[in-house]
């Protein structure tokens, strides 16, 4: 397996999962966006992208799920067709669509696109939408230290990256459980959250 990606990007989710799982891999980290093979494995030429024997897999959460399913003995993801797997899907989709999308909208406008394409008028709207969703996560984390089955799983890798991204934008003010969750996960030796990028 080859992983195309580098910190601080969503490839950090995949690197964290690979290291938790102890799966052998080659990491392509240098000049990745110029790599002649990247678009073969990711149609938009983004990272992360996974090369599995010549087949491409993209989307960081999909890659993490695939990897965790390759090593079921590590217990990093609930078994397919179980209620816990449904909860895994619930929290990962929730974080990506109801929290990360808003944060990414602001980050991309403020830090990536040309000035003419920036939409500062959306920033408060995005922050409010993220925070309205984060209330649900805050409540769940007040009942359990981890999101699925009361133990660390790949759902925590995916969701905590979103939380750290929001943290760097100042979106988590007042969410004590989310803050404690991030700190708890940072104590794991394989954790890559410290590299989640800051807004300019
Ligand atoms: N939803 C995708 C997002 C992928 C993505 O946008 N990656 C960024 C880095 S975090 C990237 O490659 N940006 C380069 C670009 O947009 O050209 C995922 O989670 O993998």
Q: Which of 92, 109, 110, 112 is nearest to 163 (CA)?
A: 92
134 strand-pairing partners: none
Peptide bond into 182 cis (omega under 30): no
Q: pTM (2 decimals)? A: 0.96
Range of the domain at 120: 83-192
Q: Which long-range contacts (CB under 8 A, 24 or more apart) does 78-84 make?
A: 78/148, 78/149, 78/153, 84/148, 84/149
Rounded Cα distance between 83 and 79, Å, is 9
Nearest CA owner, ligand 1 atom 14 = 46
Choose the residue to mutate in 29, 35, 46, 50 for probing ligand 1, maximizing ligand atoms within 8 Å of C-beta: 46
Collapse the DSSP code of 121 into the 3-class scheme (helix H, G, I; strand E, B; otherwise coil) and give the result.
Answer: helix
Q: Is residue 200 part of a domain?
A: no
Q: Is residue 145 part of a domain?
A: yes
For 28-73, write each residue's pLDDT tens digit: 999 999 999 999 999 999 999 999 999 999 999 999 999 999 999 9
Q: How far is the CA of 80 from the centre of ligand 1 (A)?
A: 27
Q: Is residue 197 part of a domain?
A: no
Domain count along the chain: 2
pLDDT band per the 50, 70, 90 thresholds, residue 194: confident
> Whose structure tokens read 């990256």?
161
H/E segment holding residue 3: strand 2-4
Nearest CA owner, ligand 1 atom 17 = 46
For 130-172, write each residue's pLDDT tens digit: 999 999 999 999 999 999 999 999 999 999 999 999 999 999 9
Nearest CA owner, ligand 1 atom 6 = 46
Q: How far is the CA of 52 from the centre of ligand 1 (A)?
A: 19
């Amino acid at each position: 397996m080859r992983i195309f990606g580098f910190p601080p990007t969503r490839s950090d989710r995949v690197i964290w999962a690979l290291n938790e799982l102890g799966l052998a891999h080659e990491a392509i980290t240098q000049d990745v966006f110029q790599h002649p093979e990247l678009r073969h494995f990711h149609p938009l030429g983004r990272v992360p992208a996974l090369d599995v024997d010549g087949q491409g897999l993209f989307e960081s959460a999909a890659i993490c799920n695939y990897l965790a399913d390759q090593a079921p003995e590590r217990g990093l993801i609930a078994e397919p067709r179980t209620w816990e797997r449904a909860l895994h899907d619930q929290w990962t989709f929730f974080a990506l669509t109801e929290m990360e999308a808003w944060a990414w909208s602001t980050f991309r406008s403020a830090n990536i696109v040309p000035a003419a394409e920036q939409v500062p008028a959306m920033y408060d709207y995005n922050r409010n939408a993220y925070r309205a969703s984060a209330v649900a996560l805050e409540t769940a984390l007040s009942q359990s230290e981890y999101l699925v089955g009361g133990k660390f799983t790949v759902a925590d890798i995916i969701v905590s990256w979103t939380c750290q991204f929001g943290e760097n934008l100042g979106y988590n003010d007042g969410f004590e459980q989310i803050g404690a969750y991030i700190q708890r996960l940072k104590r794991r030796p394989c954790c890559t959250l410290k590299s989640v990028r800051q807004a300019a």
